[in-house]
Amino acid sequence: MAFNLSGKTALVTGGGSGIGKAICRVLALAGAHVHILDLDPETSRIAADEIAGQNRNIKLSAHGCNVADQEQVTTCVAAIRKEASIDILVNNAGIAHIGSIEDTGPEDLDRLYQVNIKGVYNCARACIPGMKVAGGVIVNMASVAGTVGISDRFAYSMTKGAVLTMTYSLAKDYISYGIRCNSVSPARIHTPFVDGYLSKNYPGREKEMYGKLSKTQPIGRMGTPDEVAHLVLYLCSDEAAFVTGTDFPIDGGFIRLNG
């Protein structure tokens, strides 16, 4: 079977909702034992229960972990490694911010740095020593905002640009250990976050604004979490054994076809 992850152990951060939850489901259905990490342990547990559904053959474990807290990450990874080596790390956890540099206070910058940059650092640093023994795969969630300029995304773009360069550095530094590292850069993906943003900022105009945001992708729609998850599955699989040090836009033509 193509993209078979049987016998693999995967750790997915921010796995309790949205894109992360879709990644957990797709990796688990491919045979991996997926450890769902989320800030709220209850969110992780609910996600695991929902993904399992009637399919009790898939393997899921739920954890509460703040990726910005190095001690929590180290403790969580150590507990998982007592059961099995970690073969796959998906650094998906992230938070957003809307605003130009004038709308971005020091507290905003620090908050995004702690999760979007330090969170990736903490998780990769905790997992790599074990991966150096038998190889492994790291997939970092970047964004088109880290590659091209997007209005009012100053702090968010900064952090996703850092994710890209961390990806390249990790790929180069650990290729000799059999560790592959790539990143995925989505454009707008339809998640509950998008719906919440529209209802909060455009009450009564949600449908209109959803259509406008969808049209910013040349393909004419937003992506789905499952589409991102299946790209991640490929990068985690042996079918991608020759792929490392690369960013993969999944953007409906946003980067290359706009303008």
Task: Tell me the per-residue pLDDT of 81-112, one tens digit each, with 9 for 90 and over.
Answer: 999 999 999 999 999 999 999 999 999 999 99
**Alpha carbon 78 to its chain's center:** 21
What is the per-residue pLDDT for 259? 64
Task: Tell me the per-residue pLDDT of 128-155, one tens digit each, with 9 for 90 and over.
Answer: 999 999 999 999 999 999 999 899 999 9
Catalytic residue among 113, 121, 156, 210: 156
Task: Tell me the per-residue pLDDT of 177-202, one tens digit each, with 9 for 90 and over.
Answer: 999 999 999 999 999 889 988 998 89
18-44: average pLDDT: 97
What's the mean pLDDT when you consider all of the chain? Answer: 96
**This prediction's pTM:** 0.96
Task: Tell me the per-residue pLDDT of 197-236, one tens digit each, with 9 for 90 and over.
Answer: 899 889 999 999 999 999 999 999 999 999 999 999 999 9
What is the per-residue pLDDT for 35? 98
What is the per-residue pLDDT for 77? 98
82 Cβ contact partners less than 8 Å away, ≥ 6 residues apart: none
What is the per-residue pLDDT for 193? 86
What is the per-residue pLDDT for 55? 79
Q: Using the predicted structure, report yes or no on whether residue 54 has a pLDDT greater than 70.
A: no
Q: Using the predicted structure, report yes or no on whether residue 62 has a pLDDT greater than 70.
A: yes
2-25: average pLDDT: 97
Say whether 177 is catalytic.
no
Q: Domain extents for the chain?
A: 9-187+224-254, 190-222
- Choose the CATH number for 9-187+224-254 among 1.10.287.130, 3.40.50.720, 3.30.70.660, 3.20.20.140: 3.40.50.720
What is the per-residue pLDDT for 149? 85
- Contact in structure between 170 and 123 (CB atoms under 8 Å): no
pLDDT interval class at 249 (50, 70, 90): very high
Share of the chain above pLDDT 70, in %: 99
